[in-house]
Amino acid sequence: MPQTSSLPANRDSLTQHWIEQYDKVREQTLKLVAPLTPEDHMVQSMPDASPAKWHIAHTTWFFETFILVPHVRGYLPFDEQFGFLFNSYYKRLGNHPNRALRGTFSRPSLYRTHLYRFHVDEAMHDLLGQEPSAELLRLIELGLNHEQQHQELIVTDIKHGFWTNPLRPSYQPIRPKTLENRLTAAPLTWCNFEEGIYDVGHDMPGFAFDNEAPSHKRCLQSFSIASRLVTNGEYLAFMEDRGYQRPELWLSDAWDHICANGWVAPLYWEQSDEGWLQFTCRGTVSLRLNEPVCHVSFYEADAYARWAGARLPTEFEWEIATRSINDSEKRSANLLEQEAFHPIPARQANMEPSGLLQIFGDAWEWTSSPYTGYPGYRPLSGAEGEYNGKFMCNQMVLRGGSCATPESHIRSTYRNFFPPQTRWQFSGIRLAHDYA
């Protein structure tokens, strides 16, 4: 079950706490879409991505559908058609449009979509001022974390949309070159962990999704995990060694994918007369060899690990390696760097006591673990049970959060998951190997 954060004891303080939390999350979504034109809000560059206007509406639909309609007597939905139009995949709530068609929704207008958001926000403020029950607060907290997931998707989806545009516009303002462009990445070292039986999964105060629980024990063999993420320069060496032309490095399905899709480099890389270029949220820039490689699939991460004589960590090895990092230390420099949606070089000064760098907030890290339920996992009842449980098939787990992940999602137990061919997320590589 998702757990509720520790809260103020005083009722007035509790009400104010939830109103502030609600407004903070809702305002962040509007901040993320502020640079976009009305036309930008319509862009859907592939079926896996969604238009920004749809994200604005769907996150509003979540509060209306799961909280206001069933729990507020006399609440009138803004538009009865929106319950169908902005349902994502909740089959128990009825039918929904084909995901690939979201970019065709020229109606409702962007203006009417914002009116919908305002209508729901007013009703939510009224509800929060009436001392909602613990169950309603649990649903509200789930809704806020759901919206934060979509905030990350707004960034990754518009980046892909702008990349598909021949003009290659930038989502964020182009900024002058900074010192970080000249930094070298910290040396890669290995952090060793002994064999043992470890507790994994979420068992602490604070919010967690249902797929992070229950806490349980795992027996792990001794292992080593890399101190930092693989860099662009290191990945380029793999490419120059004909990494994309050597079938012995690739899983069977992976080889089929690179052959069918013509993959020769990570997503957003492009070769020019001056060398490799990389598309970022600030436009096209020269490839910086010291930065973490990202926008690689699980297939590419796995092939690189084979080439490097290593492997990807399991999600449990990854979690145990990060358990020594306290909440106060989980703040990558990138999270504080003016919301620059781009990973930065590993800096020795940021090394954790465990010897690890870049664990949180640069790039999601592929693990070798398939996405399944933990022992004793049971999906939530009702439509909520479709939130995570129904996707436990044909997906691989990623850990750590990226430069586009909201800060409150940065925790060692958070389990992201995508199909192995996915590349449009900020996904990178951390190596591991057995330790004798």
Same domain? 73 vs 210: no
Domains held by the chain: number: 2
Same domain? 207 vs 157: no
* pLDDT computed for residue 9 by the predictor: 53
Domain boundary among 164, 191, 217: 164
Q: HSE, CB side, 13 Å, CA atoms: give it for residue 356.
A: 27
Q: CA 236, CA 219: separation in Å to the nearest integer?
A: 36
Q: Which residues pair with 399 in a beta bridge?
A: 365
- The reply to whether 172 falls in a domain is no
Same domain? 80 vs 207: no
365 touches 332 (CB < 8 A) = no
Which segments of 146-293 are extended strands (E)?
190-193, 196-200, 216-220, 223-226, 269-272, 275-280, 283-286
- The reply to whether 96 falls in a domain is yes
| pTM for the structure as a whole | 0.93
Same domain? 274 vs 188: yes
Contacts of 376 (CB under 8 A, 6+ apart): 214, 216
Same domain? 290 vs 257: yes
Same domain? 61 vs 95: yes
Same domain? 297 vs 160: no
Domain harbouring 149, CATH code:
1.20.120
The one-digit pLDDT tens for each residue of the chain (436 residues) are 344 455 555 666 778 899 999 999 999 999 999 999 999 999 999 999 999 999 999 999 999 999 999 999 999 999 999 999 999 988 888 899 999 999 999 999 999 999 999 999 999 999 999 989 999 999 999 999 999 999 999 999 999 999 999 999 999 988 766 545 556 889 999 999 999 999 999 988 889 999 999 999 999 999 999 999 999 999 999 999 999 999 999 999 999 999 999 999 999 999 999 899 999 999 999 999 999 999 999 999 999 999 999 999 999 999 999 987 754 445 444 444 446 799 999 987 777 777 899 999 999 999 999 999 999 999 887 778 778 888 999 999 999 999 999 988 899 999 999 999 999 999 999 999 998 7
Q: HSE, CB side, 13 Å, CA atoms: give it for residue 396.
A: 21
* pLDDT computed for residue 97 by the predictor: 94
Domain boundary among 137, 164, 191: 164
- The reply to whether 6 falls in a domain is no
- The reply to whether 405 falls in a domain is yes
Same domain? 151 vs 185: no
Same domain? 48 vs 194: no
Q: CA 85, CA 102: separation in Å to the nearest integer?
A: 9
Domain harbouring 325, CATH code:
3.90.1580.10
Same domain? 148 vs 184: no
* pLDDT computed for residue 179 by the predictor: 46
Q: CA 366, CA 416: separation in Å to the nearest integer?
A: 9
Same domain? 105 vs 184: no
* pLDDT computed for residue 4 by the predictor: 47
- The reply to whether 170 falls in a domain is no
* pLDDT computed for residue 337 by the predictor: 46
Q: List b or e across 287-315, with b for residues whose CB sees 16 or more CB atoms inside 10 angstroms.
A: bbbbbbbbbbbbbbbbbbbbbbebbbbbb
352 touches 359 (CB < 8 A) = yes
Torsion sign, CA atoms 356, 357, 359, 363:
negative
- Supply the range of the domain harboring residue 342: 179-434
- The reply to whether 1 falls in a domain is no
Same domain? 279 vs 231: yes
* CA 303 vs CA 110, 239, 311: distances in Å: 43, 11, 9
- The reply to whether 171 falls in a domain is no
- The reply to whether 387 falls in a domain is yes
227 touches 351 (CB < 8 A) = yes
* pLDDT computed for residue 177 by the predictor: 60
Domain boundary among 102, 133, 164: 164
427 touches 420 (CB < 8 A) = no
